Amino acid sequence: MTGGREDGPEFDHPTEKCGVVGVSLSDREAALPTYYALYALQHRGQESAGIVSHDGFQQHQHVGMGLVGDAFDEADVDALHGSAAIGHVRYPTAGSVDKSCAQPFSVSFKGGALGLSHNGNLVNADDVREELAASGHAFTSDGDTEVIAHDLARNLLEADLVRAVKETMSRIHGSYSLTIMHDDTVLGVRDPLGNRPLVLGELDDGYILASESAAIDTVGGELVRDVKPGELVVLHEDGTGYDSYQLVEEPNTAHCFFEYVYFARPDSVIDEELVYEVRRELGRHLWREAGVESDVVMPVPDSGRAFASGYAEQAQSEGEGVEFAEGLMKNRYVGRTFIMPTQEARERAVRLKLNPIKSTVEDRAVTIIDDSIVRGTTSGQLVDLVREAGASEVHVRIGAPPINAPCYMGIDMATRDELIASDKTAEEIAEEIGADSLSYLSLDAVTDAIGKSEADLCAGCVTGEYPYDVAGEASDRDAERPAIDAAGDD
Ligand code: AMP
């Protein structure tokens, strides 16, 4: 497909961009480690948090709005009995903010109890939902997670677990890392292109699946490996091991490059790369490609830190007498500014969040380093702040290429016309944000730092070409959504 549009039909329903966890232990309650793992994944979602556990007889569930610490109190965690659990933190979106969209999604059906946590976004959810609705399935939300749950429940009535998951995978198209609980069996599934991360870890008395390895570290586990694209991992109910089924195999992957740039924690290892080191390497590339002479290099905290340290290190190694210093102080009690629904609220939030350190910037030429520019709100505000604090020059360097197309794969990136780079050059953006100069990083540098070819990454938000068949958008490969016929067969 070719062409482009403001926002495809895939934006009509709430998208699911999140952190997921699944835990199976020998006989300890799984809720507490799941809760801690969700804490470690808090950066992946602040809108709601939830856990579903199973004690061998029945499912228990608690979901609440807000941060993990607000969504649960001690009694809530204590009431989640059983040595199997899955958990979820949900990313904020401007639209739906009520409990009906919170996850894990759970459903009881003839074949048992099912819980499902989803990170990613299906691009054919409407096709599958329509077909399921036509055969009598009633939906309580318009999210794609419920679609997966219903499809899987239907398949579980006719097939064993592995075949049922395989059948569902043949019908859904898009990005998904899932943790699923069928009765007290916990499973993890990663979509055939491995767009979102999912890792497997070992605990003293069991196994854990999580979006990022930092969650495994937090509960004292060891990272075993990434769940492979197209793989199903089934944790044994007694916590003694796991089984692996490679259900779908594709010649290439489509790992999201933005996980490395912004979304994942720097202390996480994704697809065998430590995110912090990737970011430092991106910073080194940034100096090599677009270094600019200045007195001081300073990060936008927290996301720009690793980039700025790599950038300054590379500059210094090439004999540039530049200082690396903190010039912006962050108020850690203000949440991510991006979630504010209006432009005015977003602008105020940047001021609430960051304040300049005068001694770093006064009468000096300053280079500010951040990971990305989306709408341009943050950088515009920061350039003003730093100038008001007395900087003589303000340069901006960005550790990613220009984001100029929407993300349909589970990251809230704004619509095309909100993206400042969608219709402006770097020089025009520099002018708009008031910077003396602005440079981005090339996509080549990104692929080099991540150590993967462009054919194995998803950079749709940069290239406008997606690894999946997104309605109205171009694809960078032979991507085709499955035909969903009325009988539900593939
Ligand atoms: P903006 O102010 O709209 O240009 O957004 C850029 C700032 O938001 C940068 O400081 C990024 O670290 C951060 N950011 C980038 N992408 C996202 C995202 N998808 N969600 C939340 N924050 C983001």
Q: Give the residue whose CA is nearest to atom 22 of ligand 1.
A: 338
The annotated binding site for Mg(2+) is made up of 303, 370-371
Exposure class string for 116-133: b at 16+ Cβ within 10 A, else e: bbbbbbbbbbbbbbebbe
The reply to whether 18 belongs to the active site is yes
Q: In the chain, what are the domains? A: 9-254 (3.60.20.10), 273-452 (3.40.50.2020)
378 in ligand 1 pocket by Cβ < 6 Å?
A: yes
372 in ligand 1 pocket by Cβ < 6 Å?
A: yes
- pLDDT (0 to 100) of residue 437: 98
Among 17, 18, 374, name the best residue to mutate to test ligand 1's pocket (greatest count of ligand atoms within 8 A of Cβ). 374
- In the chain, what is the greatest distance between 2 CA atoms, to the nearest angstrom? 72
Among 259, 262, 429, name the best residue to mutate to test ligand 1's pocket (greatest count of ligand atoms within 8 A of Cβ). 262
354 in ligand 1 pocket by Cβ < 6 Å?
A: no
- Which residue of the set 10, 14, 18, 51 is catalytic? 18
- pLDDT (0 to 100) of residue 340: 56
Q: Could you tell me where the DSSP H helices lie in 191-249?
A: 213-218
Closest C-alpha to 4, from 455, 411, 465, 421: 465
- pLDDT (0 to 100) of residue 1: 26
53 in ligand 1 pocket by Cβ < 6 Å?
A: no
261 in ligand 1 pocket by Cβ < 6 Å?
A: no
- pLDDT (0 to 100) of residue 334: 72
CA of 125 to the centre of ligand 1 (A): 27
Closest C-alpha to 477, from 450, 458, 452: 458
259 in ligand 1 pocket by Cβ < 6 Å?
A: no
CA of 461 to the centre of ligand 1 (A): 13
Determine the atom of ligand 1 nearest the C-alpha atom of 91: 20
46 in ligand 1 pocket by Cβ < 6 Å?
A: no
CA of 468 to the centre of ligand 1 (A): 24
Determine the atom of ligand 1 nearest the C-alpha atom of 407: 19
Determine the atom of ligand 1 nearest the C-alpha atom of 371: 12
Q: Measured between alpha carbons, how far is 347 from 165 in angstroms, rounded to an integer?
A: 45
- pLDDT (0 to 100) of residue 271: 86
CA of 337 to the centre of ligand 1 (A): 8
CA of 105 to the centre of ligand 1 (A): 28
Q: Measured between alpha carbons, how far is 90 from 110 in angstroms, rounded to an integer?
A: 28
Average pLDDT along the chain, 490 residues, taken 10 residues at a time: 31 60 97 98 93 98 94 98 97 57 90 96 94 92 90 96 98 97 98 98 98 98 98 98 98 97 96 95 98 97 95 96 94 65 70 91 98 93 95 98 94 86 97 98 98 97 97 94 68
The annotated binding site for [4Fe-4S] cluster is made up of 256, 407, 458, 461
- pLDDT (0 to 100) of residue 140: 86
- pLDDT (0 to 100) of residue 413: 75
411 in ligand 1 pocket by Cβ < 6 Å?
A: yes
Exposure class string for 32-70: b at 16+ Cβ within 10 A, else e: bbbbbbbbbbbbbbbbbbbbbbbbeeebbbbbbbebbee
Q: What is the pTM of this model?
A: 0.93
Q: Measured between alpha carbons, how far is 8 from 363 in angstroms, rounded to an integer?
A: 47
Q: Which amino acid is at 283?
A: G
Determine the atom of ligand 1 nearest the C-alpha atom of 377: 2
429 in ligand 1 pocket by Cβ < 6 Å?
A: no
- pLDDT (0 to 100) of residue 426: 97
Q: Measured between alpha carbons, how far is 396 from 365 in angstroms, rounded to an integer?
A: 11
- pLDDT (0 to 100) of residue 28: 96
Among 330, 337, 338, 382, name the best residue to mutate to test ligand 1's pocket (greatest count of ligand atoms within 8 A of Cβ). 338
Indicate the helix (H) or strand (E) that contains 475: strand 474-475
Q: Give the residue whose CA is nearest to atom 23 of ligand 1.
A: 338
- pLDDT (0 to 100) of residue 389: 95
Q: Within a 13 Å sphere around the CA of 91, how many CA atoms are in the beta-carbon half?
A: 21
376 in ligand 1 pocket by Cβ < 6 Å?
A: yes
Indicate the helix (H) or strand (E) that contains 246: strand 242-246
- pLDDT (0 to 100) of residue 47: 87
Among 372, 407, 461, name the best residue to mutate to test ligand 1's pocket (greatest count of ligand atoms within 8 A of Cβ). 372
